Structure 1
Amino acid sequence: MATTDSARPDPPSERRAPAREMSSVARSADGHRIAYATYGPPDGDPVVFFHGTPGSRRLGALLEPAARANDVRVIAPDRPGYGRSPPQSGRTVGDAAASVRPVLNDLGVERAALVAFSGGAPYALGTAASLGDRVTGVDLVAGATPPSFGDDTPAVQRLLSGLAAATPSVLGALLRGQAWVASRADPSFVVAQYAEDADAVPEDAATVVKEDFLAAFERHRNGAVTEFRDAGNDWGIDLDAVDVPVRLWHGTDDANVPVAGAERLAEALPTAELRVLDGADHLGTLLRAAPEALSRSR
């Protein structure tokens, strides 16, 4: 079922409070390290946040004001090969739960809701499909969709997926160069990759987006290369195995992930609801949907 929401973003003043990141590292049973950060009240209802591609735990700071308002504890891991989480050779979308389970165990969390942005969507669905007994629901915000669900994949996305598959070292070098430029540029340089009008994004949100991008590459580029490669292939997820409530939030003006793909994904998921945000672009969907997504995940 799809509904359209024409509401505008919350006033910037409601998002101005600085985020307080608490960082830690969890270890899986086989010794892999997963870095993560938490935002919001430590005793709040747990929500695992899946950053985009590329991305890092730092993007969770965008959700911190809404987390405090809804008594939610946002748990934001660095997926392998991003930020402070070392790469894991051979990882796939279907392995996503292996990076979530250690974090939940480290925090003593039995069950949690999942919220994913952009390229984090397949990893949230993969987690829900294989770790369903510990997942209460999934919110996909401007989420990526399976390649077979869209015939209008943006050219940039096709290029990055092609480079990741054919010449991963070239893509890694390009990402290194982009991070170097971003570190010296105004936040609008990074924001322009996610928003139609970078100047319209509140300054505090733009700063977080830049910090997230730089943190993604602070130690590795493997995470982004791996995920751009996987984005062009079948995800290997049994969507029928996702038997918890799924909400998709998607903007009509999203140039990164066209809404048509989200409509098809919603039809393919057995328990999905699609909320269409009128006039929202890729980043705008996250800014507008986050407060309600967190309130609905409780």
Structure 2
Amino acid sequence: MFLHGTPGSRRLGQLFDAPARREGVRIVAPDRPGYGASSPWPTRDLTDTGAFVAPVLDDAGVDRAGVVGFSGGGPHALALAATHADRVTSVDVVAGATPPDCPPTPRVQRLLGRLASTTPRLLSGLLRVQAWLAGVAPAVVVSQYAETERVPDEVASLVARDFVDAVAASRRGAITELRLLAASWDLPLASVDRPVRLRHGTRDANVPIAGARALRDRLPDARLTAVEDADHLTALLRSRAPVVAQHAD
């Protein structure tokens, strides 16, 4: 089960297609509420994750799965393990967002959270403009997550399409999540009784690795792997093969 970033869509799961095929692993990558073709759920919180992920597993005929959460999908992966442990074998969090009381929170992230809470219409307009830019200049979006020269052209194109898919129909998914991730999490981290593997780039400017270290210390069974010389997106690219291999038969 792959849970995309914030904002994001099911499309980003395509990054795992090649390693998954090599290892014989099935990837399920849904849109969360308010993204892509999924209906908005503006009042949801992190502990509601199981309410929309469990039905996807049911529909796929899967009883239990390893869960991978990237960026804003990381807290949702932890939430699924905390509230629906019977559906989860283990959790991989790659470049995952961290609680707001795990410093440091970059200024841009604080600003986005504030806009989502106070002026959502303004933020919706900004996201609409970004989606237009992503359609004509993918590097504009990619540069928010990585050094563009380190990202292959086909990956940059996919990341841009992922952003467009995330917000084209509605910006409510992104606004909902930016607001709830910036507030105190309602997530009982001590209840995550599944093994958690954190993988985080040492050069991640979107979510500094110091926050990942603080998050690791709050989880009962967590291990952090520092991805050397990796930023937010390249940490995901370099984590694909090892993450998938852990779930191979």
Give the shorter-chain TM-score range. Answer: over 0.9
Give 1:241's aligned residue.
191
Task: Kindly indicate which of the two structures has a greater share of residues assigned to strand.
Answer: 1
Looking at structure 1, the residues matched to 83 and 188 of structure 2 have their Cα atoms a distance apart, in angstroms, of: 9
Give 2:181's aligned residue.
231
Structure 1 residue ranges, 4+ long, deviating more than 6 angstroms after superposition: none
Give 1:126's aligned residue.
79
Amino acid in the other structure paired with 2:91: V
For residue 168 of structure 1, the aligned residue among 120, 140, 145 is 120
Looking at structure 2, the residues matched to 67 and 214 of structure 1 have their Cα atoms a distance apart, in angstroms, of: 25
SS of residue matched to 1:74:
coil
Amino acid in the other structure paired with 1:153: T
Give 2:65's aligned residue.
112
Amino acid in the other structure paired with 2:133: V
Normalised TM-score (structure 2): 0.97
Normalised TM-score (structure 1): 0.82
1:297 is displaced (CA, Å) by 3.0
Give 1:38's aligned residue.
none
Count of residues in correspondence between the two structures: 248
* Structure number, greater radius of gyration: 1
Looking at structure 2, the residues matched to 206 and 173 of structure 1 have their Cα atoms a distance apart, in angstroms, of: 23
Looking at structure 1, the residues matched to 156 and 149 of structure 2 have their Cα atoms a distance apart, in angstroms, of: 9
Give 2:44's aligned residue.
91
User: What's the CA shift string for 1:172-202, capped at 9, x where partnerless?
Assistant: 11111111122122x211110100x202211
User: Quick check: 1:243–1:270 contact (8 Å CA) kept in 2?
Assistant: yes
Task: Kindly indicate which of the two structures has a greater share of residues assigned to helix.
Answer: 2
User: Quick check: 2:216–2:224 contact (8 Å CA) kept in 1?
Assistant: yes
Give 1:42's aligned residue.
none
**Structure 2 unmatched ranges of 5 or more:** none
1:128 is displaced (CA, Å) by 0.7
Amino acid in the other structure paired with 1:119: G
Amino acid in the other structure paired with 1:192: S
Write the mapping of 1:1-298 to structure 2, written as runs, cut at 5 A.
Answer: 48-150=1-103, 152-185=104-137, 187-195=138-146, 197-298=147-248
Amino acid in the other structure paired with 1:123: H
1:99 is displaced (CA, Å) by 1.2
User: Quick check: 1:70–1:294 contact (8 Å CA) kept in 2?
Assistant: yes
Amino acid in the other structure paired with 1:269: L
SS of residue matched to 2:5:
coil
User: Quick check: 2:42–2:176 contact (8 Å CA) kept in 1?
Assistant: no
SS of residue matched to 2:101:
helix
SS of residue matched to 2:212:
helix
User: What's the CA shift string for 1:78-122, capped at 9, x where partnerless?
Assistant: 000000001013111110111101101111110001001001111
Quote the RMSD (CA, aligned, Å): 0.9
Looking at structure 1, the residues matched to 73 and 185 of structure 2 have their Cα atoms a distance apart, in angstroms, of: 12
User: What's the CA shift string for 1:248-285, capped at 9, x where partnerless?
Assistant: 00011000000000001111100101000110100010
Looking at structure 2, the residues matched to 138 and 221 of structure 1 have their Cα atoms a distance apart, in angstroms, of: 28
**Stretch deviating more after TM superposition (202-211 or 74-83):** 202-211
Looking at structure 2, the residues matched to 243 and 250 of structure 1 have their Cα atoms a distance apart, in angstroms, of: 21
Looking at structure 2, the residues matched to 71 and 264 of structure 1 have their Cα atoms a distance apart, in angstroms, of: 34
Looking at structure 1, the residues matched to 5 and 177 of structure 2 have their Cα atoms a distance apart, in angstroms, of: 10
User: What's the CA shift string for 1:55-75, capped at 9, x where partnerless?
Assistant: 000000111111111111110
Amino acid in the other structure paired with 2:54: R
User: Quick check: 2:42–2:173 contact (8 Å CA) kept in 1?
Assistant: no
User: Quick check: 1:188–1:199 contact (8 Å CA) kept in 2?
Assistant: no
1:218 is displaced (CA, Å) by 2.3
SS of residue matched to 1:82:
coil
Amino acid in the other structure paired with 1:243: D
